[in-house]
Amino acid sequence: MHLLYALINVLLLAGIIWIFGRKQIVAIFRSRRERINAALDEAERALPQPEIAPEQPALPVEEKRSSAAETVETIQNETQEQEYRLESQFGQACEDMRRAMLLDVRDEMVQRAQKLAAERMAEEPFRTAFRDHEAEMVDGVLAHICISPGDRVYLAKHDVLYVTLTSAYPMAEPLVERIRCKVEQLLSEVNGKPSFWVKVDASLIGGFQLRIGDTVYDRTVVNSIARLGALLNEREIEGADAAQMLSGMADTVRHAPKEANEYQVGRVLSVSDGICWLDGVSDIMFGEVVAFECGEHGMVLDIEPDRVGCIIFGRYEHIESLSRVHRLGIMMSVPVGDALLGRVVDPLGNPIDGKGHIWASDRRPIEFHAPAIPDRKPVSVPLHTGIKPIDALVPIGRGQRELIIGDRQTGKTAIAIDTIINQKGKNVACIYVAIGQKDAAVAEIVSKLEKYGAMEYTTVISATASSAASMQYIAPFAGAAMSEYFMYNGRDALIVYDDLSKHAVAYRELSLLLHRPSGREAYPGDIFYLHARLLERAAQLSDEAGGGSVTALPIIETQAGDISAYIPTNVISITDGQIFLETDLFNEGQRPAINVGLSVSRVGGAAQTKLMKQVSSQLRMRLAQYRELATFAQFGSDLDDATREVLDSGARMMAALRQGRYAPLADWKQALLIFAVSGDCASQVPPEGMEAYAERLFHYFETGQSELVQRLSTGEKLDAQTIQQLEDALRAFAEVA
């Protein structure tokens, strides 16, 4: 048997070398390299020239010298940084183009080699060689055949199991009888009997197929050539020339597995609306991938006693009823790793940003068990969002699950995007999952992330409203798998699910198409479990388990502020807190429009620095008091001085917590502003002037109070002496402001 496969491997390798000799490959490389060089020359000519700085007004001599020195140093640093960035981008572009060129050449080589091998092996010398080894092949198959659990269940109902022997040419009668006797012996052990069929199919070229129930034992030449081609196509491109590529392909062929290919098959009963019902494949598991004859793939999502339901990832119009489907024996997985950072992909991990192939070497299943309790540790490291009301009032820690909830158009996505932007330089990989959004909205988000330099460490998974419900369903699970790669490698990751309301709708659609019983609001009964097993995968691992973390920010859209609806209450009970955005506050201009009373972080001060915990300890209570008095004050104008003072102070605090989009603040700046507003240092500042006051305050401390800035930047608790120094500095600033 090994002799036959050695013959096949040698023939295929010879075909590769014979078709693509060294001279021909060098010619292909030379022509494509010339096109690449021409494109690179054009790109170099199109590089933007540095802008000429506008002329500055005249300054005194000493200030002019100092300013000139600073300007020269700044220009030198910016120029050097730009050169490094352009050099890195240029090198990466060259590498991507080289690997894409090699990929095209390899695919062409494999296709032509497969065609040549099929033509040559159909000739008479090879047919004779196959027939000489038929007995050896039969022995190898008979040593592996068995009755699968699914076939045992079928026999319990029908007593008869269909067995089909298909060969490329008529097999010798003694060999056919040996196979028949072996099958009858196996079936007699489970009180069954076979319905034995013998067929001839010349398209198999050589060898035979033995199908017992749903299981196929394939020893045909066609199958061997297809498997070798798949192995060659899956091999990662290495090396820079034809010789290295040929050597790698030859090594793949030389070490190809020689055992019989065993798989289960079924047939398509019906297909519609992205849902497919299958017959057969009785041993298949939930979440397993199947392949259809047309090339599309699907995932099993429902298993019934007499049929299997699966969702289709591609275009279901290509799938025909009664066509064959293959069980691949693998669970649904997606590519993961650093190669996906900076890219926009679909839920299957395929690039959709036009930047070429993604060279990811690792994959992870989209469904994976959550870390066990002993592998977790309490959340204690802050994940700074750069948003004042969140870091001060509802802090988020690494490994936490914090829900962002509110009506449509209240700034939910803005909070998530600002949080991603604020992770720049903090070694946190970010994954943004867009579910059911408009294509234009996703494009705008990607544009903003690129503008603020956040796409370098971010992966965007796009399952827009135009995508199939199956793609929207697996999108958050694909994002969870990509984030887990970083967590289990001891790194920190942040994932945003925007939003799980649309994800629940997509799952409801699939469930109703699969004829599952509906419950509250027509959602299936396991909708809670669906989101629970997704969000439980976010955790802070213990040091023994690697110390990595995944922080999850799920987003839920409410209707008219109803947080008691089915999906909102489900996710609220799963997460570690929620940030509630109120429509009335948003319309009043208070942005982010966070309702302090309904927002909470169940991690609390454990996810804050000691400095922020100290300065914001009374902030929530004072804001709640202000909101209560502000509501009462609407019904009357006669207010005593104490009440008016509370209202004025609260208005300044609310104004201080306002923040524009794409402008996250450092933690020390937030603490400084809250400290100033909470005391009497900003009592003379009107609410409408708080934004300008904050800008001047930060500039004053950065330029004239470097020691205090350094002390605040540590995040440690302020002692009495530092508090006194800080108050003195604030009073001095109030005098000059």
Task: Say if residues 106 and 230 touch (Cβ distance below 8 Å).
Answer: no
Question: Three-state SS string across 241-305, please?
Answer: CHHHHHHHHHHHHHCCCCCCEEEEEEEEEEEECCEEEEEECCCCCCCEEEEECCCCEEEEEEECC
Question: How far is Cα 418 from Cα 412, in angstroms, rounded to an integer?
Answer: 10
Question: How far is Cα 206 from Cα 5, in angstroms, rounded to an integer?
Answer: 12
Residue with tokens 């207010």: 639
Distances from the Cα of 588 to the Cαs of 232, 256, 410, 591, 654, in angstroms?
Answer: 62, 68, 11, 9, 11
Strands, DSSP E only, in 112-192? 160-167
Task: Say if residues 454 and 662 touch (Cβ distance below 8 Å).
Answer: no
What single-letter DSSP state applies at residue 453? T
What single-letter DSSP state applies at residue 455? G
What single-letter DSSP state applies at residue 351? B
Q: At residue 211, what is the residue type?
A: R
Question: How far is Cα 32 from Cα 36, in angstroms, rounded to an integer?
Answer: 6
Residue with tokens 């050597």: 247
Of 112, 120, 533, 602, catalytic: 602
Question: How far is Cα 520 from Cα 526, in angstroms, rounded to an integer?
Answer: 11
The residues facing 102 across adjacent strands are none
What single-letter DSSP state applies at residue 664? -
DSSP letters along 361-399, please?
-EEEESS-PPPPGGGB----SB---S-HHHHHHS--BTT
**422: alpha, beta or left, given left = phi > 0 and alpha = psi -120 to 50?**
alpha
Question: How far is Cα 129 from Cα 132, in angstroms, rounded to an integer?
Answer: 5
Question: How far is Cα 401 from Cα 536, in angstroms, rounded to an integer?
Answer: 8
Terminal CA-to-CA distance of the chain, rounded, Å? 90
Question: How far is Cα 609 from Cα 669, in angstroms, rounded to an integer?
Answer: 13
Angle between helices 500-513 and 527-535 (to 10 degrees): 130
Helical residues (DSSP H) of 344-425, grouped into ranges: 388-393, 412-421
Residue with tokens 């009301």: 389
Verify whether residue 516 is a known catalytic residue. Answer: no
Angle between helices 22-45 and 242-254 (to 10 degrees): 130
Question: How far is Cα 8 from Cα 116, in angstroms, rounded to an integer?
Answer: 12
Query: How many Cβ atoms from other residues are within 10 Å of residue 686's Cβ?
Result: 12
Q: Which residues are catalytic?
A: 602
